[in-house]
Amino acid sequence: MYINARGLGTLIVDEKIFCCHGGLSPDLQAMEQIRRIMRPTDVPDQGLLCDLLWSDPDKDTAGWGENDRGVSFTFGTELAFYNRTFLALFLNNLPLAVLPIDYDKVFFKEGTCSFLKGSNALMGVAAYPWATVVGKFLSKHEFDLICRAHQVVEDGYEFFAKRQLVTLFSAPNYCGEFDNAGALMSVDETLMCSFQILKPADKRKLYAGLNMGRPMTPPRGQPKNKKK
């Protein structure tokens, strides 16, 4: 199935791989929302369309966080904060068939609860895969993988959230400013994914002259820029 989303870079491969340019959105509840986006359109400063183009995964974010690009969100490896008592009640009230792991194996990271006013109670962060933003999205829509671009990654591709999301960047030596490799991802009939690496060349000065008019990918933090 293909979502006709010219300019959005949004694609669903065989009902199992969700592809987008940027990332996920807290506003995305159904694929029909993407189909209903009018084209052509200007990109707004917030909302679903903005997030599909500009949001980023971030291993240091719990749930949804601010994006230091100044636009959209980051989404992280953990969905929410739970205290131990609440988590026990939550798990105990779920059918056993949907529990992915034993409660005794839940990993807790202690931290201060920031969303309860006046509370300094220590909270546990439940870090099981299906409770991540990525895992919840995949489970809800019955997808197996999220494939996105938007960020320069050193090796051309980079996994996130226990290989449930992959960032794919196909331009080596991006704009002549980086020493990154590029990568292509192929998907066969069984949905097996493989990667072809495009090695970087040490021609940054040449590329820089050819790409002076090309806009850079909006920076997030400080991308790696090391000579190999």
Query: Which tens digit of pLDDT belongs to each residue from 27-70?
Result: 999 999 999 998 888 999 999 999 999 999 998 888 899 999 99
For residue 89, with 0-12 CB atoms within 10 Å meaning exposed, 13-18 middle and 19 or more buried, which class applies? exposed
Residue 172 clears pLDDT 70, i.e. is over it:
yes
Per-residue pLDDT at 103? 38
Give the model's pLDDT for residue 49. 95
3-state secondary structure of 172: coil
Q: Compute the distance between CA of residue 4 and CA of residue 43 in angstroms, rounded to an integer.
A: 17
pLDDT score recorded for residue 104: 39
CA distance 122 to 73: 26
For 11-78+132-210, which CATH class? alpha beta
Amino acid at residue number 212: M
What is the pLDDT at residue 21?
Answer: 95
Q: What is the pLDDT of residues 117-126, one digit of tens each?
A: 333 333 344 4
In this predicted structure, what is the pLDDT of residue 218?
58
CA 123 to the chain's CA centroid:
25
More confident residue, 174 or 105: 174
Please state which of the ranges 56-60, 191-195, 204-208 shows the lowest mean pLDDT: 204-208
Q: Which 8-state DSSP code applies to residue 57?
A: E
For 117, 118, 120, 146, the CA distances from 82, given in Å and listed in that order, are 15, 17, 14, 26
Alpha-carbon distance of 228 to 180, in angstroms, equals: 9
Query: What integer best gives the mean pLDDT of the chain?
Result: 75
The answer, yes or no, to whether residue 176 has pLDDT greater than 80, is yes
SS3 137: helix
Residue 129 has pLDDT above 50, yes or no: no
The pair of structure tokens assigned to 138 is 């995949």
Mean pLDDT of 136-148: 95
What's the pLDDT score for residue 40? 86
Tokens for 53, please give them: 């183009």
pLDDT at 97 over 70: no
**Residue 9 confidence (pLDDT):** 77
What residues does CATH 3.60.21.10 cover in the chain? 11-78+132-210
* Residue 173: per-residue pLDDT: 94
Q: What is the pLDDT of residues 3-35, one digit of tens each?
A: 444 457 789 999 999 999 999 999 999 999 999
> Taking 60 as the threshold, does the pLDDT of residue 112 lie above it?
no
User: What CA–CA distance (Å, rounded) separates 25 from 60?
Assistant: 17
Can you read off the two tokens belonging to residue 79?
């969905």
Closest residue by Cα to residue 166 from 31, 36, 2, 13: 13
